[in-house]
Every structure is written in structure tokens, then in C-alpha cells.
Structure 1
């Protein structure tokens, strides 16, 4: 039963795999356009972890999708603490594909890109919740090949690049040989991790383990219909209330501002509908460095470039700021930023206490998954000079 405990939370993210490269230790995270020269080689200023999640959405996979929805925020919260080298905090990008669904085009191999690489956590959540299941043909080799071809994986050898593919039919289905697809992935320094939804030995006999081994990835077997176990804590209600206050610090602007703010609320509701604890984990994610909304929130945008405030036309401002002077708008943004930082600090402090409570009350069986997952993440990520801390 040990392998059954590797359910989608571990699959979804981060069995970081080893390569011969290390993090760019001299990189700076502030500017995405600045290049750092090391000897004669120029390297990007920011490190990325790029994860493509390929989910089987055929009839029997409702449990898999539900686990993915529930585990998203665990993944984000863990990765908040990742460091690349001495001081670089890597950015997380997630892409999403579905395959094996009769509603998809047979011409495309019953495969659809749901989302290209994105760091918009609300958008990622929205796309996960949009998935529905239906019977179909499941072509693992083809969906891997498609993700390699369509996604912008970048050329930085320091980035961590991973595919996680989950399903329950033989890995050999389809015209495109999975060995060719995984060989292509390995050439691009992309690790394929496989999650078989069923018996561990059956996954081996249907080549799911082989699909992972060819790139140095991890093979896992999960009970995709198993109920995700969460532990409630005395701090949950307070964190949820603070999340509501946190939403009040966002200042929408531009053509998509109002829509994005509505999406923020909608994903809060989606998390809460799954379970209260999932809403708590999402709130913790929203208090982290990985929850950035510069494209629609004036606080995050001004932190990147304060000159934006002077350039915005009145029609792109929210109602409460129209007719205000530039100095008044800056003062308002500064006030909301201070409020946000204080709320985020409170959430992080409460979450630290929450984690202690969970560790003290977690039964051995429910703790095995988390401990195994985090141990594998850190051990394998260390091969690219990644470390974890809570600072």
C-alpha cells in the first residue's frame, strides 16, 4: 500500500529530477529582461520551474481531477520556500493538458492544451475546475510529444523542466511510440514523471514505469478514487477571515481588471466548495510571493513599475480612484500595499502554527504521503542546487 499513498498531490508537483546542471547562482530576480554575464556566457536573470501536467480525462478519472484541484495549493505553498543557489527564488509556471476524452478532436489525438505555461494561480485553478470527463482513446506518447512541441520550455539549462502524466490505460496506446516521445524530452532536458491510476504492478506491466525511467523520472501508482485527507486546525477560520480582508486590498485596473477580480473571488469559492481546508491552503498561497497579479492589480503593478500610475487613463481606473490626482492615487496604493503586507504576514504566522498543529495531530498513515513527497522533492531538486527554507 506504500505506493498507493503517492496520490496526486505528489504527482502534481515536484518530484524534482536530477541533471548535471546547477542553479544560476548569480542571477537576480527583479528584472526579467536583464542579462547577467558569466565569463562569455549570458544567462537569464530569473530561474524557472516549468511543470506540464497531462491529465487523462476519460470516464473513470473524476477522482484524479478532484485530487488535482485539492492538491494545487499544497504544491504552491511548498514551492514558495524553494531557493535556487544562495538567494534566487525561482518562479513557478504550470501548463495543463487533457487527453483521452471523446469530446476532444480525434484529429488531434483526443488531446487539448487547456493552458500554456502560466504563473497566474487563479487562472490555473479556473482551468482545473473546468475539466470534465468522458470516455476516449488515451495516447500517452502523443500527448507528451504535443506538450514538447507546443509549449515554450525555454533554453536555460538551469531551469527545472518536468512533465507529469497521469492515466490508467497502457502507456503504449497510439501510433506515436512513447519511447520516441520520452527520448525527445530527455534531449530537451525535460523529465517525464508518470502516475498510473491503479495497481502498482499493473502500471509496470503496461509500461508506465518504463516511460518515466527513460528520462530519469519517477514512476508512481495511486488510488485516484481515494479521498484526500485533510486535518482541520484551530487557525483555519481566522485564516479564511483574513483572506476576505486580503481581497479588499486588490485594486483592479485596465480592461481585464474587473474580470480578474471576479475570478479571484470565484476561485476562493471553488476551493471552499471542495473543503474548508482547501480554502485555507489557497489563502496561504495568496499570502505568498508566488501570488502576483501585476496585469490587473495596481498594487502589484506599481511595485514593478510605479510610473504606470501616471500613465493610466481615467477610464482604466476603478471607480474609487477616478478624478483623483496622481499623488492621491499613489497614497491610496501605498495604503493598500501596507494593509496587504500586514494581512499576509498574519496569515503566514498563523499558517506556521497550523503546520505545527498538523504535525502533532497527523496519524502515521496520512503523514506518510506528505513526508515521502517532500523528501523526494528536496533530494532530487538538490541536484540542481535547490534548497528549502521558511524565511
Structure 2
């Protein structure tokens, strides 16, 4: 089958790989009808995610049709349309039973590597390094889905692939980011990053009752899409973000701040972001936390900082003094997607949101390597790439 594979920094290829098969009675195999390139995949493309190996199949936003199911998969049958969450979860461990599916402690065969870096291992992820299981991803014609009796959710025929696909990751992630803010009537939520996750965070914040959303980015098309949703936008190349938010909130600060950027902010945003980039290049740091620092400074006293951007290791010059002395609350996670999928599917069916709004570019797997470049470089107004094998 065809699949998009990793061969080093900036080197993504569409090539032939062996077809997946049932390896465990709880497996299913799906024929992929739609998949997407995620902002998290760009971190892989840029070479900042450790433990990637040449030939690894990429992708963790996937949906399709069940073509084979293991003997213990009773909830799915051949022909079902399903969306597959990016986290692989057993459904039986303490974490899964408490709804923390992304912390499943049984699905990462590389857990010792993760424990060395983080202390404890999270769940295995599709297409996201041998730190998180080395599982093949879903930017392919077919995908083996471990623990298929726990993960995938059936999609009604009334919804298109465009509407359903993003239940796999970015819609739940954006919604969780907003939910972490514990939004009250009248609240102002500031969101750094108007990429796909940021766009869903904006809309989710309004759905959860925010009065104002301030969206921060520098890509015109992203800011325009944020404004279309009702957000007030700030271009960090044109204004001092701290001063602007102080002015917009009469000096109090935003009630909650969402970091939807993570480890690779624009290095031209400020002096400290340039220094961060130099440190990473010189192997003096693993992450670039400029956005996180700014979100902390812009958050009101006893406000919340919600972090859904990807960080891999250690951050430098973290303003702990600001966080402690002003009583900030931090909420962060890899999204336990299974926890959110049913209620967000209901919102789509009710017409509260049509997730297809985020798609700007489409293509085949053969076109995937070039579309990685388009997405990475924000070319041609690219906000989200959807691939149809």
C-alpha cells in the first residue's frame, strides 16, 4: 500500500509499505477514506521530535471503513465508517477507567524510553515516534487499529468525512483547551496560535460561553478565519501583545490564556523567541517556550493557563515567580480523545459547528510530501490539509 513516510528532517516520501494485518484479537484494519496533516506532524517534519526512524509511517488524524475486525472486536463490523482517535488506549487500566485515555499505561511498548524522559509514560500514539510506541500512522491507504473495541467511534451516514475527520484530534484538543479555562459568563479568553487547533479553541470558547476571544497570530489567513468566528485579532508582528491585552482588558489581563502553539513559535516574534531558537539549535534546550511565557504574563491574577501546544522536554526561563505569586492555575494534556468524541459528535449532528470550515487544501497521498511543505510554510493561505487516499 501507499503511505507517507519519514526519512529525516524535511524529507517526507510517499512510498510502498507492507499492508497492515490483524496482529491481536482486539485489532481492526480500516481502509482510510480521509486523513490529515496535523501541526504536530510539522514538528516531526522539522526534526524536533526524538526517536523517529527512517521509514516510519506518519499520521494520527484518520478515518475510514472497517475491512477486517479481530475476534474480540464486538462493537464494530466490516463496512462501518469510523473515526480513529490519535491516542491508543486499552480501556481497562486505572487511567482509562477514569477517562484519562491519553495516559493509558498499557499501550506504549516503548514506555521505558518515555519514563526516562518524563518520569511516567503516556499512551501510545499513532505515527508519532518510538518514544510513544512506534505505531504506524494513518497517512496511508490502510491502518491497523489496536484496541479497536475502545478507540474508534462510528460515524453516521448523514455526516461527510470533512465533518467527522477532525474528531480524531484537533476538534477535541481545541475543545479541551477551552474547557480547561472553566469559562464563566463575561470571560475574556486569549488564544495564542490560530492554526487548526487554535481555530477550534476559538469556536469552542464561544460555545462554552466566553464573551470575548482574543486571537493572536501573524498569518493573515489565520487571523481572518479567527475574525470570522467573532474573535478580536492581534498580529504579534504589529503590536506588543502584553500591552495590547492590558489595554483591551482595562489592565486586569485575560481571564484565561490558551497556548495552542507549543514548542515551535515564530522565532521572529521577540528577542526571547530568537534566543530560544538559538539554544535549541545549539542543543542547550529542547523546547522554545516564548508563547508560554507570554501567556503567563498576560493572564490575570488567579486566572488559568491552558496548554495544548506540543512540548517535548524542558523549558528554559519559566516564569515560576509570576505563576506562584499571582495564583495561576495550569491545565494541560495530550487530549484523551475518547472522552470527548461522543459529545462533540452530537454537537456536529446538532449543527452547533461544522468542522469542515478549517480545510483549505486537499490532495492525494502522492501529493502529500509537497503539501507538507505548503502547510509548513503557510503557502497559498494553507490552514489545514486533508488527504484522501
Q: Judge same fold: TM > 0.5, yes or no.
A: no
Q: Which has the higher contact order (CA 8 A, sep 6+)?
A: 1
Q: Larger helix proportion, structure 1 or 2?
A: 1
Length-normalised TM-score, structure 1: 0.30
Q: Larger strand proportion, structure 1 or 2?
A: 2
